[in-house]
C-alpha cells in the first residue's frame, strides 16, 4: 500500500487545504452525520476502505465528506493496486499534523510513506515540485519540532536523507 498526498475533487491542493485540523477524539462532536458514518466504515476496514464499499451516498455527498475529513486530518488516502482507498489516520498522526501548513504536510507525508528506508531531499524535490530553498526551510521547521530527522550521507557528499523522528534507517 502506498500513502497518497492528495485531496478529492480539488478543494485546496495536495493535502486538503489550510493548516486546520483536529484530533479524532476532540472533533467527533464537530463531524457531520455522513462524516461519522464514513469514519465508522474506515474503522471497520482498517486495511483500507475502497470506493466500492461506500454505498448509500451520492457522489457529491461522498466528495464533501471525504474532503471534510481530509481537511480535518482524520483520513488518509491509499493506493491499493490501481484503486484509491481511504484509511482513518492514527491519533498520534492527527495530532502531529494539526499545526502543519500545506507544504509541511506534503513533505511529512512523503517522508512518512518511505517507512524506515528514508528519502533523499532530491527525491522530495522531485515528488513535491517545491523549490529547494522552500524544502530546506520546511525540513528545518519539521526537525525543530522533532517530527522528522535528517541524516547526512557518508557515501554521497552533500546528500541528506530524512525519516520520521521515531524511526531509524534500515540497515
pLDDT in tens, 95-108: 777 788 888 888 88
DSSP the chain: -EEE---SSSSSTTTTSSS----HHHHGGGS-HHHHHHHHHHHH-TT-EEGGG--SS-HHHHHHHHHHHHHTT-EEEEEETTEEEEEEPPHHHHHHHTT--HHHHHHHHHHHTTTTS-EEHHHHHHHH---HHHHHHHHHHHHHTTSEEEEE-SSSTT-EEEEETT-----
In this structure, the answer to whether residues 106 and 55 fall within a common structural domain is no
Q: How many domains does the chain contain in total?
A: 2
Judge whether residue 114 has pLDDT over 70.
yes
In this structure, the answer to whether residues 34 and 106 fall within a common structural domain is no
Judge whether residue 52 has pLDDT over 50.
yes
pLDDT top residue among 64 and 167: 64
- For the full predicted model, state whether its pTM sits above 0.75: no
Residue 110: what pLDDT? Answer: 86
> Is position 45 within any domain?
yes
In this structure, the answer to whether residues 51 and 116 fall within a common structural domain is no
Domain boundary among 95, 116, 133: 95
Domain boundary among 95, 123, 144: 95
Query: Which CATH number belongs to the domain containing residue 59 in this structure?
Result: 1.10.10.10
Question: What is the residue range of 73's domain?
Answer: 2-95
In this structure, the answer to whether residues 75 and 155 fall within a common structural domain is no
In this structure, the answer to whether residues 145 and 128 fall within a common structural domain is yes
> Is position 171 within any domain?
no
Amino acid at each position: 500500500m502506498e500513502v497518497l498526498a492528495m485531496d478529492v475533487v480539488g478543494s485546496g491542493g495536495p493535502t486538503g487545504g489550510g493548516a486546520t485540523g483536529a484530533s479524532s477524539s476532540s472533533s467527533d462532536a464537530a463531524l457531520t452525520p455522513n462524516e461519522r458514518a464514513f469514519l465508522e466504515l474506515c474503522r471497520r476496514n482498517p486495511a483500507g476502505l475502497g470506493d466500492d464499499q461506500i454505498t448509500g451516498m451520492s457522489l457529491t455527498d461522498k466528495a464533501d465528506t471525504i474532503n471534510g475529513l481530509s481537511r480535518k486530518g482524520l483520513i488518509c488516502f491509499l493506493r491499493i493496486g490501481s484503486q484509491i482507498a481511504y484509511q482513518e489516520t492514527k491519533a498520534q498522526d492527527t495530532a502531529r499534523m494539526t499545526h502543519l501548513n500545506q507544504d509541511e504536510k506534503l513533505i511529512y507525508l512523503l517522508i512518512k510513506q518511505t517507512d524506515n528506508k528514508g528519502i533523499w531531499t532530491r527525491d522530495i524535490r522531485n515528488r513535491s515540485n517545491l523549490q529547494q530553498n522552500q524544502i530546506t526551510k520546511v525540513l528545518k521547521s519539521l526537525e525543530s519540532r522533532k517530527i522528522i530527522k535528517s541524516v547526512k550521507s557518508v557515501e554521497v557528499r552533500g546528500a541528506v536523507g530524512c525519516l520520521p523522528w521515531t524511526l531509524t534507517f534500515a540497515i
